[in-house]
Structure formats: structure tokens, C-alpha cells
Homo-oligomer: A and B are copies of this chain.
């Protein structure tokens, strides 16, 4: 898929087909995420989950729609807090990595749903416990992935000119 088209047509997917994501596609997605920009040391780690029970538990923890349980896999993007002094810093880098991951999924014909874990202290704690992460690792986001059940809208949001300011505010 052409890059500009991928950027404007990615949409959240809530219903998935129960078809596994091939391993080489998973690697494409992770490679895209790992090439996101980072300020200094890269903080990100990626936990890949495909077990039905753990995906169900994860969906409950993040209080999301039941339909996300149909996703054949999810990736939990985590931050190594020891890599960067400031929370805000690793959150920015992990957001860029998450965005690259969902864009790569879209380019490969997959749907995705980006669910926020950070900044909810409860979600960070419970998702961390479910995954068994060490103390210095913090879950940042969960991306549910899979073939979308229905074709997604291909329409881009048009330019909202009221959000554009020329030569200052």
C-alpha cells in the first residue's frame, strides 16, 4: 500500500476474523515499530500474546468491547523506565512506536485496535501483573490485531482548516 494512502485510511477495527497473523507479518509490524523515532535510548519492549485465555483476561482488564476477544493476537507495548528519566519522554516514544505498528498492520491488510493502558495507574498495574513484567517495566498500550471481519471505510478525514494556523497562532 502507498504510504500516504496508508496514513489517511487507517481506522480502528473492533471485530476480527479468527485467522492467525503469519509470523513474517508479525516481524514486519515489529520492525516498523522499532524504527519509530526515540529521544535518546529506546524505551520500548513488545509482548506478543495469542493465547485465548490471556487475550480474554486482557480485554477484561482494559474494560474494552467484548468483540476485541475475537482478535487472534495482541501486542502489549511496554516501556523500560530505566532507559529514560521522564515518564512523559517514554510515553511519547512508545506512542510513536504504537502508531508505526498500527500503520504497518494496516499496510499489511490487518485491522487493529489501539487501547490505552498508560496513564491509568490501575491498568498499568493489572496488565503488568497479567504479563508478569519486572518492576522497571510499564505497560503503555495494547494493540489488538487481526483480519477485519468487515471491510473498513477507506475515506480519509478531510483537512480541518480551523486546526491550521499560518505564521503564528
A130-169 at interface with B (beta carbon < 8 Å): 130-134, 137, 156-160, 163-169
Please list 28 pairs of residues, one from A and one from B, whose beta carbons are closer than 8 Å in the complex, sorted by A's number: A1-B3, A2-B107, A3-B5, A3-B104, A4-B107, A7-B32, A7-B107, A8-B32, A12-B37, A30-B159, A31-B157, A34-B157, A34-B159, A37-B114, A45-B164, A47-B169, A48-B164, A48-B165, A48-B166, A86-B119, A88-B88, A88-B118, A91-B95, A95-B95, A95-B99, A99-B99, A103-B103, A132-B168
Point out the residues of chain B lying under 8 angstroms from A47, CB to CB: 165-166, 168-169
- Given A7-B103, A35-B156, 12 new contacts (CB under 8 A): A3-B103, A3-B107, A7-B35, A10-B35, A45-B165, A88-B88, A88-B119, A95-B96, A99-B99, A103-B103, A132-B168, A132-B169
- A127: shortest Cβ distance to chain B, in Å? 11
Which A residues are within 8 Å of any B CB, using their own CB? 1-10, 12, 27-28, 30-32, 34-37, 39, 42, 44-51, 54, 86, 88-89, 91-92, 95-96, 98-100, 102-104, 106-108, 114, 116, 118-119, 130-134, 137, 156-160, 163-169
